[in-house]
Amino acid sequence: MVFALVMSLTTGHSALAQDSLPQLDLELPLRLDFSGSWEKDFRRSDNWEDELSRTMRIRQEAAARQQSSPGSTRIRSTPPISIGNVNLPRNRGRGANIIDLARLAEYVSRQNTLQITQTREEIRIERNGEAALICGTEYELQETFANQHGVEVCGWDGQQLLFQIMLPDDLIIMHRFTVSSNNQVLNLLTSVYSKGGEPFNLIQAFNRYQAPRDEFNCIQTLSRGQVCNQSGADLSTVLDGQ
């Protein structure tokens, strides 16, 4: 009888403990935390000119090996890539060279800081001088915009966040974001492709930092226009004088 009572209490306690545990919703994806303020680590980031020199050296070595091999055919001096209508030099029919792709990769990677906000449903990457990159946290591929200027899609490759921008003339820009398990280092791989040619890749590293808060708070009023005061101060004291 005592044994049955102990078993009953133990079973009841176990069931109560299980009920108090948080329930994992398997329908919601688990993502690493990308949120925060990030500043570029220039020491660990690629320099586009150095990376261009390395890429060209690799191509020249590969071309020399192919030309020296028996039965080889002559390789065209210009790779089959086209920069498209993106305010860069273009040459219809033959395509632009790897230098143009490198300059474009450097241009779209010019931000020194990133501001990322993340919720359970969405991640938003703010970039100075560029439109924000926004993606959901679900598993399926998502189209974020589409118009006559191009198409942008985003998605997840495991814990890596990918954005692919497809522009006219078969130009493709891809951003691949990864974050370290301790959430202190963010890596960004930017790749520029065109017409199925080999991509030019540029890797950037960012460190988490504490961004200073805005120095001023501002509100818009009907009688006085925009009214600003230092952060932490009460704007109501300024408005009381209206």
How far is Cα 95 from Cα 80, in angstroms, rounded to an integer? 6
In order of their start, the domains of the chain are 36-209 (2.40.128.20)
* Cβ within 8 Å of residue 72, ≥6 positions away: 66
Residue with tokens 């403990």: 17
| 3-state percent breakdown (helix, strand, coil) of the chain, nearest 5 | 25, 35, 40
How far is Cα 153 from Cα 145, in angstroms, rounded to an integer? 7
Check residue 230 and give its pLDDT.
Answer: 65
DSSP 58: H
Q: Are 51 and 209 in contact (CB under 8 A)?
A: no
pLDDT digits (tens, 9 = 90+) for 164-203: 999 887 889 999 999 998 999 999 999 998 877 888 999 9
pLDDT digits (tens, 9 = 90+) for 9-31: 344 444 444 455 555 455 556 78
Mean pLDDT rounded to a whole number for the chain: 76
Instruction: Give mean pLDDT, residues 106-122.
Output: 94
